[in-house]
Structures are given as structure tokens and as C-alpha cells.
Amino acid sequence: MGLINVENFAAGQWIAPGDNARRIQSAITGEDLALAGASLDAGAMIDYAVTKGGPGLRAMGFHDRAKMLKALALYLNERKQQLYDLSYQTGATLGDHGFDIDGGIGTLFVYASKGRREMPDSDIYVDGEPEMLGKTGAFGGVHVCTPLKGVAVHVNAFNFPVWGMLEKLAPTFLAGMPAIVKPATATCYVTELCVRMMLESGLLPEGALQLVTGDPGDLLDRLGSQDVLAFTGSAATANLLKSRENILRESVRFSAEQDSLNASILGPDVTPESPEFDIFVKEVTREMSVKAGQKCTAIRRIIAPEGLVEPVIEAVKARLAKLVIGDPRREDVRMGALVSASQKRDVEEKAALIAQEAELVTPEGLTIAGDEVQNGAFLAPKLFHCADPDGAEHVHATEAFGPVSTIMGYRDMSHAVALANRGHGSLVASVITHDGDVAREAVMEAGAWHGRIYINDRASAKEATGHGAPMPHFVHGGPGRAGGGEELGGVRGVMHYMQRTAVQGSPDMLQAVTGRYVPGATTKEAPAHPFTRRFGELEIGETLETAAREITPEDIAHFAEFTGDTFYAHTDEEAAAANPFFPGKVAHGYLLLSFAAGLFVQPDPGPVLANTGLDNLRFMKPVQAGDSIRVTLTVKRKTRRTDEYGEVRWHVRLTNQDGEVAAEYELMTMNAY
């Protein structure tokens, strides 16, 4: 088998490696595997993204882009075996593929779902409700988010050639922004295969995705104020990138997710007989062996009660002793190789620094399972014990990016948290405890230093996702050494690629901009009862004004008896009058909602398929017997759900005989097309 020519995709063309291409070795055999790198026209790439990719993505709304993400996920999922087969050469086992390849595809699925459920069927994102700034409500404002008009450049690390790319692409594409992906060259051949699949799918607009597998040339020097630079890797490289003159001058959005000295704390409530002890040991050994410890979220510092340090050491050593290390293509192998010989040397150098302050407590010898892999970048797991964590420096500042971790003892929870915080910022800290007070203390004292705090115990162990598994629903990033960035986090991640703008104007103008009803805007009378009109026929601002209904004492008494809601405010005049919120006996709030539905409902079969709920219910003014209510029902927002029906949000306002607002809420219905 010849060398793999890892190509670049730039300005719509696949470009083969050039004369200055770098040779890439297999992690498991050490033999030359691939060539990558070519001279590229960075200006043409940016122009291609801005003039082709950006307009193509922005021509789609959030829901169409979400559908595109789902289709991409399905397409890749059908072809992931090809990615598995190639990814073995990075040293990754089949289990590791679950984190990288399946995890990346899963992230696409999550963002596809969130885009459909949590974002509008529109090309503009409204952030919060409008706020009126005057007495009459004639002028106000609202925050909206629109896609940046530049290109997102993603510089990714070597350890996750698929997930590292897809976890950035998912929110970028959903925002409506094109991307240029720059994977680490050591594993770029896996990324290239994934990019090739996505482009061959035909699902992406032209110019939405480009790939640089080697030196990016002057690409980063060309970025401006409408561009985004997102980086994953070391703090040293991040500092070089964010200090570039144009990045500072143009205020280019920069996000860094950096390697950090993550910690795991075993709670003081735990004994060797507790289920939490086994949970802790399993978490530690998993984080040392998955991806051969090459994870930005791996546990680097193991913090246990002083009296449990030795039992933890013995338990971890016992589990590591059973670990089969070798050719990741073998079914019995549970830990593969580091990504390269140079990475192995780097880990050994960093481990030597740690060894100045800690004792290695695991064997140094290594048996490698498999044929023809003896020259691979395999390394035995190294567990160190630091007897003086307060006096140590290297163990809190040096990260050996491999199967290396250091255990240390603590006196009490205050001491444990102080040790965890000495990493000066991490992506994740975990606390294994069955004591809620311990968990709260850890969050309160360590939260400022960690992007995620993972708490596990016997109640959650079966469903817990793991210390080292960032989930797309929650932010992935951390302060200080971890880079200060926040990736993922559901829709929060999409906002990194959009500009938040305060738009001010009259209710009519705000409604025109946002595409949703703003109270105070001009309404229009429906040509027929709105419940008789199909989804596509309804217009924003279309309004129904109902007749009035008087509330009688018999209504209130019957509702109390019928429902069992005999709260004194509805049944006892004297007690109700003593309540500062009520003028006397009042109608039930839910009685008012029931009567409101009776006032605006159209009972005949029609396009309204279901009432799916209500949001933002507020009771503003009590209603007593003798008062009357009427309802104003207005189409606030429409969202496609399928080709057969869509969701309609109605603004519902109940007013009394004096025109005062008694209640307000949003009603949701599913309406047929």
C-alpha cells in the first residue's frame, strides 16, 4: 500500500500535496502512512467562503440548516465504518471511535434537534422579549442575532480528528456561517476522509466548507472583524494565535479550548465499601486509557482523602494491570497508541518533570499485543503519587498529554478544592460523592475555576456520561489555563457565530424586523375565525376580539366544588379581604383560563389539530364576581414542524370591563397546512 495523499479542499478544488508536504507516520507501526500539505491561496479561500458559502447558508433559515445537519449526520453514520478503518492508524481503538467518530456524528444530531426545537423557523434569532421604553409603549427595543458575514476558521487538535471538527461545524453551520477547517496534520487523513464524505453528499451549499491539511500560510493574517477563529490545543499555541496583530486590531472573535489539568475529587463521605469508591476508580482508569489518555478532559490529578490514597492506588493499579495495550484493531485491546513517536517523547519528558515531585507507583514495563506494531507509539500508563501536594509545583502546572495521572491526599473538602483550583482553570473537575453538602461546597468553591463540574454517585452511575465526555447540550470550555472559551452549550454555541444587535423602534417596526407579534403593534382583523384558517393562511398580528362574559358568584362556587380547589381566597370573603393581594373573594385563575378558552374557541372540526400547552402565564389583576372578561387572541409566531402541520403561538390577553389586563399568556396549537 502506497502513501495516502491527503488533499486540501480550497476554493472549490481538491489540491494534492505539494513538494513541501509533510510525511505522517502510522501511530501503531511507525511506518510512513501519508503525505499532507500544499501551498494554498488563502485570499481565494476566504473570498470563496464569503461570496459563495455565506450567502448559500444565509439563504436558508435555521430550520432548513438544522435539517441539513441531520441529513449530514445520517449520511456520515451510514459510512462511519470507513472512518473507523482509517482511524485505527491514529492509535485509536474501537471504543475510542465511539468518542471521536460516533461522538461527532451525535453532536450533529443534537444540534439538528435543537435547531428545530429551540430556534425559530426564520433567518433571524430573537433573543428575549421586546422591552418598551416609554409610558405609552410607542417605542422600545429587542435583541436580535444575525450571522456574521465572514468565515469561521477552526484550528483543531490531533486527538479528535472527527469530533473536534464536527463539534465546531454544527453550531457554525446552524448559525449560517461558512467554515475553513484546519486539523492537526498528524491525524488530518481521518479529517480529510470525513470532509470528503460531507462534500460528496451534496448537502452543503457551495463554499460552506473548505479544508487545509498542512501549513495554513497567511490565512490567519487575513482574518477581519466579521470572521471567527476557534482553536483547540495547547495554551502556548493559543497565546500565539490570539496575539497576532490583525486578531487584536480587527477584534476578531477568538475562542480557545485549551488542554488543562483537570481534577477528580473523591468525597470525604466515601469508604472503600461504598459504591462511590468503585465509581471513582473506574472513572480514573477510564480517563487514563481512553484515547491513550490523549483527551483535553482527562483526569490529570486524582484527589482523595489522605486515608484512602493507598486503597485508591491499589484499586487503580489492579484495573490497569488487566488492561490489554496494543494493536487497536484487535478485539481484546482496550488501549492503543499515542498519536506519534514525537508525542510519546513529549509525554515522557513531561512525566519526568512530574517524577521530580511524585513517585511512580505503576510498573514501567510494557507488553504490546499484536504483530508488526512493536515500533508504534505505545506507552504504559503512569500513575504517580505526590505525598506533598501543597509543596509541589509541577503536578499542578505540567500536563503530560497521555496515560499519565497523579494521586494526592487531602485533609478536608476545603483542602481538596484548593488543590483542584491550583490548576488555575480547567475544562472539568469531577466530584464523586453521595453527600449533597459535599457536592454543593465543591460547586461553590470550585465553580469559578472550572468550566464543568461533573458529580456522580450510585444514583446516577448507570446513566452518567463520564468525567471526560463533553456533551453538546452543555458548555465545553473553562477559565484561565483552559482558555476562557465556551464551545457547544446548545444554542449558546450558535451565538458565537452571530452578532447580537439591539434593535429599537415602534412596535410595528420591531414586529416587521422580528417576524413575530409585538404588543402594541397594529393588528388586523381575521377574515374568518382564526381557528378555521390553515397554518399557511394565518398572518402575524391577525387578531380575534371576543365578546365579554360576566363572572358570577355561582361560577366561582361551582368551580371550587367541581375541582376541589377551595383555597380561602375563592371561598372565604373575610379571609380573602385580609390578604393584601385581594380585594375580597376572587375568581380562580384557572377558571378565567377556562372561560377564556370558551370565549375564543371554534368548536367545529378544522385545521387546529391540538392544543399543546401554554407559556408565560401571568395573572395581573384579580377578578371578582360581577366583573366581566373578554379575550384578545393574536397570532404571535408561526413555526413549521412537518410538511403536514406547524406550531402557532397565540398571544392571549384577558381584560376586565375597565380594559385592565387581568391575565396574559401564550397559547400553542398545532395547525394543519
DSSP-derived 3-state class of residue 526: coil
Residue with cell 475510542: 96
Residue with cell 487584536: 248
- What is the rounded distance in angstroms from the CA atom of residue 27 to the CA atom of residue 32? 10
CA angle, corner 335, sides to 333 and 339, nearest 5?
125
Q: Establish whether 257 is a catalytic residue.
A: yes
- What is the rounded distance in angstroms from the CA atom of residue 177 to the CA atom of residue 559? 54
Question: What does each C-alpha distance from 427 to 234, 261, 303, 342 come to in angstroms?
Answer: 13, 8, 16, 25
6: nearest Cα among 156, 188, 165:
188
- For residues 384 and 404, is the Cβ–Cβ distance under 8 A? yes
Alpha helices in 367-409 (DSSP H): 394-397
- For residues 347 and 379, is the Cβ–Cβ distance under 8 A? yes
Catalytic, out of 167, 192, 257, 441? 257
The count of other CB atoms within 10 Å of the CB of residue 563 is 13
Backbone φ and ψ of 242, nearest 5°: -75, -10
DSSP states of 159-214: S-TTHHHHHHHHHHHHHT--EEEE--GGGHHHHHHHHHHHHHTT-SPTTSEEE--S
Burial 319-344 (b: 16+ CB within 10 A, else e): bbeeebbbbbbbeebbbbbbbbeebb
| Dihedral over Cα of 336, 342, 347, 348: its sign | positive
- For residues 429 and 265, is the Cβ–Cβ distance under 8 A? yes
Write out the E strands in 193-340.
Answer: 209-211, 228-233, 253-258, 263-266, 301-305
- For residues 438 and 388, is the Cβ–Cβ distance under 8 A? no
Run of H or E residues at 409: strand 404-410
Catalytic, out of 194, 296, 357, 441? 296
What one-letter code names the amino acid at 642? T
Q: Which DSSP state fits 290?
A: G
- For residues 156 and 168, is the Cβ–Cβ distance under 8 A? yes
- Residues taking part in catalysis: 257, 296
